[in-house]
Structure 1
Amino acid sequence: MAKECDVVEIGVLVYPGAQLAAVLGLTDLFAVASRLRHDLGALERPILRVTHWSEGESGQLAVSYDSHPGSSHAPRVMIIPPSLTQAPAPELLDRYCQDLRQWHGSGVLLVSVCVGVFFIAASGLLDGRAATTHWNFAQSLAERFPKIKVEANLPLLDDGDIITSACLMAWTDLGLKLIERHLGETLAAETARFLAVERITENQRPGSVFTPRLDHGDEAVLKVQHWLQSSGARDVNLAAMAECAGLESRTFLRRFRNATGLKPTEYCQQVRVGRACRMLEFTNRSIDQIAWGVGYQDPGAFRKVFFKVTGVAPSDYRRQMASSAG
């Protein structure tokens, strides 16, 4: 159980042209959740510390707002909000690439809303991966960053260590998703009810509910996690993962399980099933094609793993998602 002193710092990147309604709205959203945490007596849950990061006089990023001032900063989440203007210019994107890479490399969850994805894309962290954005900017994102697989039909794409969303106002649901992740389902539901916000529940979301642990502090394991997320955990084995971590196999196994709570094989299964869930919901590919697409040569083995992770067969999952969408 979390202690009263546990703190989760959620940063918001306030860049020139950022939508202030999203910046301030997210700040208010987390403030409401924090007050409800206190009012409901859920003090065993972490404290949400909200910080705004913007360029100072020196040109370096600095904290311009802190809901709990007085200590050093170590954000676990960094949100890149949307903009009311066009897609950000290259010279603006370049100013934040190094900071985003450093945050991601230290285990910070990167979250973008609408055109905020362009900032993550410019850092190279989405190369070879899928991402979503507002339909009006999908073509521009694909043209400017051809190494990214743009999924314009997805409202939200949770890829473990990076979350991208399509809608301009998706910051409300993303904020509630983060509250659920750190404070629990009850406080997320109470926050949505207090603000009269319609909430998208997990069984309506695309993808898997897998939430990898990224804030464990083991840099060698984190490097492997980022590699697995970016590759879809395809064509990997223990030896390759240990080599990526720079560790002997037995040492890697022990440290990976201690850091993530899962065996490497279980972690890979979660990543692959998450990709399969998106394909089942948003494509017409056959289950066999999806199995091959996420790295299973034997569709029968894929079906067994899928049922083990989700509790339903792939065909049933597709029907359930089609029914909830209708």
Structure 2
Amino acid sequence: MTNKMQKPPNSPIRLALVAYPGAQRSAVEGLADLFALLPRLSRGEEAIQRLETRTVTETDRPAGSVDAFVFPPSLESTQARPDHPLAHWARAQHGAGALACSVCAGAFWLGHAGLLDRRPATTHWALEPAFRAAFPQVELQPDHILVDDLDIVTAGGLMAWLDLGLHLTGLWFGPDMVSRLARHLLVDPAGREQRHYSGFRPARGHGDAAVLRAQRRIETGFADPLSVADLATHAGLSERTFLRRFQAATGLGPAAYLQRLRVEKARGALERSGGTTAEIAWSVGYRDPSAFARAFKSGTGLTPGAYRARFRVTPRPQRPAALCRPAGARI
């Protein structure tokens, strides 16, 4: 969907914000406040189509149709399930033509409503394993902050309701209003991806002790030139069996696992240390800085320099010694 929603000029856009059990209230209220700003930002220069927002709950669902609905993020268990009244409501609304949207864990509601099978979608990167297990037919794209698939829009992180709000503003009111809204909110309207922020958290609860031994060997020797033969020996398995079991347990081959771990270690070094890119590349096992740069950008979407510029942790300034003396100390 790339054009404004086509509705009669005097007909309001009806947006439902779904406050399901466990929904993040700040996101529900934040989206309502975001859209309430639009008439003010129009500056009286042009007529702006009215947008009516309402909150939908398990016990208060509109009987009539809406133009769009949003399942916001959650800080708790979402309690989503296929037979939940809100899942039934979402299916009916989408079937009647409503634009279905979700943020973060809200995608589980769209999944249980049966709206995402064989469709591209995103959710929070930390929810990827659970989401893939629950909805294997979904074309999950966890690197992306937002995926627009025409009649379904999904956004990734807990705060990605801002990205969704800006995106919907563009669909309904055009790019100029997006620019005004972004400037007013002091947010960057574009250019972000989840992989800029997501970390590598390898699977450990698989119950395969041999693979766990190999994982520990990688995690303590990631800067070494590890081979499949070395890892298989460490696991006490033949190479063929090791490769099969490692892939089954972790979801990655050993080479991909090692690369992602090295990139994760490099992230921390770029955030916290003052070493050069070449020094950091060497410390995580890359002898060729250009190969490191390619691997790092492939994993994060940013060059090492751009990542450091965006995420470097600035040390807190030290207080002068005189200000640090305990009370009553003599000068």
Normalising TM by the smaller chain, what interval? 0.5 to 0.7
Deviation at 1:2, TM superposition (A): 7.5
| In 2, Cα distance between equivalents of 1:92 and 1:105 | 16
- In structure 2, the partner of 1:166 is 156
User: Structure 2 unaligned runs (5+)?
Assistant: 1-5, 195-300, 307-331
- C-alpha deviations, 1:83-130, integer Å up to 9, x for none? 0114x2355872322111111111111110000000000011111222
Deviation at 1:184, TM superposition (A): 1.4
| In 2, Cα distance between equivalents of 1:42 and 1:324 | 42
- In structure 1, the partner of 2:108 is 118
- In structure 2, the partner of 1:81 is 72
Q: Which amino acid aligns with 2:67?
A: R
Q: Which amino acid aligns with 1:76?
A: D
Q: Which amino acid aligns with 2:76?
A: T
| In 2, Cα distance between equivalents of 1:6 and 1:15 | 27
Matches within 5 A, 1:201-212: none
- Shift in CA distance, 133/107, structure 1 to aligned 2, threshold 3 Å: same
Alignment root-mean-square deviation, CA: 3.0
- In structure 2, the partner of 1:40 is 44
- C-alpha deviations, 1:139-193, integer Å up to 9, x for none? 0011112222222222211111111111110001110111111111111211121
- In structure 2, the partner of 1:20 is 25
- In structure 1, the partner of 2:61 is 62
- Contact residue 4 and residue 47 of structure 1 kept, 8 A: no
127-136 vs 10-19, which deviates more? Answer: 127-136
110-119 vs 3-12, which deviates more? Answer: 3-12
Q: Which amino acid aligns with 1:167?
A: G
Which of the pair has more CA radius of gyration? 2
- Shift in CA distance, 205/93, structure 1 to aligned 2, threshold 3 Å: farther
| In 1, Cα distance between equivalents of 2:14 and 2:82 | 25
Deviation at 1:197, TM superposition (A): 2.0
Q: Which amino acid aligns with 1:6?
A: S
Name which of 120, 126, 129 aligns with 1:130. 120
1:96 is paired with a residue whose SS is helix
The TM-score, its normalising length taken from structure 1, stands at 0.54
- In structure 1, the partner of 2:55 is 52
- Shift in CA distance, 130/4, structure 1 to aligned 2, threshold 3 Å: closer
| In 2, Cα distance between equivalents of 1:125 and 1:92 | 11
The TM-score, its normalising length taken from structure 2, stands at 0.54
- Contact residue 113 and residue 165 of structure 1 kept, 8 A: yes
- In structure 1, the partner of 2:226 is none
| In 2, Cα distance between equivalents of 1:106 and 1:95 | 17
| In 1, Cα distance between equivalents of 2:158 and 2:14 | 23
> Matched residue pairs, number?
197
- Contact residue 3 and residue 46 of structure 1 kept, 8 A: no
- Contact residue 142 and residue 149 of structure 1 kept, 8 A: no
Give the % identical residues: 32
- Contact residue 19 and residue 57 of structure 2 kept, 8 A: yes
- In structure 2, the partner of 1:105 is 95
| In 1, Cα distance between equivalents of 2:89 and 2:45 | 37
| In 2, Cα distance between equivalents of 1:26 and 1:181 | 15
Name which of 122, 131, 135 aligns with 1:141. 131
| In 2, Cα distance between equivalents of 1:116 and 1:25 | 15
2:37 is paired with a residue whose SS is helix
1:55 is paired with a residue whose SS is coil
- In structure 2, the partner of 1:156 is 146
- In structure 2, the partner of 1:307 is none
- Contact residue 17 and residue 71 of structure 2 kept, 8 A: yes
- Contact residue 21 and residue 79 of structure 2 kept, 8 A: no
